[in-house]
Amino acid sequence: MLIAHSIAELRHHLAGFNDHALVPTMGNLHEGHLALVRQAKPLADVTVASIFVNRLQFLPHEDFDTYPRTRDSDCAKLEAAGCDIVFAPSEQDFYPEPQTFKVQPPADLADILEGHFRPGFFVGVCTVVMKLFACIQPRAAVFGKKDYQQLMVIRRMVRQFALPIEIVAGETCRADDGLALSSRNGYLSADQRGEAVHLSKALQAMAAAVRAGATDLTRLEADAMTALSARGWKADYLTVRRQHDLQAPTPGDALVVLGAAKLGATRLIDNLEV
């Protein structure tokens, strides 16, 4: 496995290959990331995983400075998963000058849900992903469904810019008790880790109610928020939306249930397609 620390080094490593597949990450890898790498391998003749903690998608009060950097162990895991090239630039390598050109996603998709509670988040996501696409020029890129809104935003960005890139969705990997795997799970105390599964349980209950024919979604969402808050969570949203654009459902839509809530100081997100 090759490791590139600069854009020039990355392009040198890619020069001998025709088709590239990309798995973008911020490092601190878990089995969910590695599953995406394994999913990417058949899609091209070289698989690239990026490791870059992107300052542009963190708000000033968020955990950019404390986000775990575990590059050596990440690279060992990626090599074992069959990754061919790791692109692991420093901030200076990737943003050698201030990144004043940015991608502005549409408000109807990017300023709701995560974008409402983390203003500017998807500007940072789209900008770093577009730059990774420019550096790697993949024919396919794999994104996990756990970050469901991100997946929808990236798909629309690729479509509107007519980029020749297939965006492939990877299923959410879960622990045995149902908790969605996340790098931020490492912030949880032992007691919080036991409680954390109740976010996915709340979404499962909402999805079951929708499948059973529940029509008062406002009441369903409010009851779920109240129940989770009673367990000590600070819920940002628990909601039912249509899958393709995350707007309020209309009859016949394919649906997804999404949630975000803080347990102590740790903010967790999850979703379930209905």
Q: How far apart are CA 189 and CA 195, in angstroms?
A: 10
Strand partners, 263: 266
Active site residues: 33
Strand partners, 273: 256
Q: How far apart are CA 81 and CA 92, in angstroms?
A: 28
List C-alpha distances in Å: 12 to 4, 31, 46, 269: 9, 29, 13, 37
Amino acid at 164: P
15 CB-contact burial (10 Å; exposed 0-12 / middle 13-18 / buried 19+): exposed
> Is residue 252 within 8 Å of residue 259, measured between CB atoms?
no
CA atoms within 13 A on the CB side of 133: 22
List C-alpha distances in Å: 80 to 5, 30, 31, 51, 83: 20, 13, 12, 16, 8
